[in-house]
């Protein structure tokens, strides 16, 4: 497990949310793989990232077996966490018709690390 900063702990362990449009990967368009900040497990391939204009990185597919879905404490949303270590990533939404897959993983940049050029 990687050592987390206080800001990373607030999101990853305490299930917080970073401010919209503040994360370092919102506008990243490089090819590579996004991995869990806490354990390093591969989560998302850059080919599945899309512009949703929501303020957080958005993906319409995860790397198989990498993300766990759980009903959020509010009973309204579905939380997504790293299937390997349980790190809070964000939430998943459907029915927005933003991509052909009609799903949006809304992920906090601070929950991930980008590895340019890495292949799944």
Q: What is the CATH number of the domain that holds 91?
A: 2.170.150.20
Q: Which of 36, 82, 85, 106 is catalytic?
A: 106
112 belongs to a structural domain? yes
pLDDT number for residue 2:
84
**Domain residues for 88?**
6-116
pLDDT in tens, the chain (120 residues): 889 999 999 999 999 999 999 999 999 999 999 999 999 999 999 999 999 999 999 999 999 999 999 998 778 899 999 999 999 999 999 999 999 999 999 999 999 999 998 787
57 belongs to a structural domain? yes
Catalytic (active site) residue 106:
yes
Q: CB-based contacts of 91: which residues, under 8 Å, 6+ apart?
A: 72, 77, 78, 79, 80, 106
Domain count, the chain: 1
47 belongs to a structural domain? yes
32 belongs to a structural domain? yes
1 belongs to a structural domain? no
């Amino acid at each position: 497990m990687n050592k987390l900063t206080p800001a990373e702990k607030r999101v990853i362990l305490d299930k917080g949310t970073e401010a919209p449009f503040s994360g370092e990967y919102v506008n990243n368009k490089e090819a590579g793989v996004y991995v869990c900040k806490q354990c390093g497990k591969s989560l998302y391939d850059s080919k599945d990232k899309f512009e949703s204009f929501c303020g957080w990185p958005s993906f319409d597919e995860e790397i198989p077996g990498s993300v766990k879905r759980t009903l959020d404490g509010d009973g309204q949303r579905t939380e997504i966490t790293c299937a390997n270590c349980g790190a809070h990533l964000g939430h998943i939404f459907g029915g927005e018709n933003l991509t052909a897959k009609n799903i949006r993983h809304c992920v906090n940049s601070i929950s991930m690390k980008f590895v340019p050029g890495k292949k799944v």
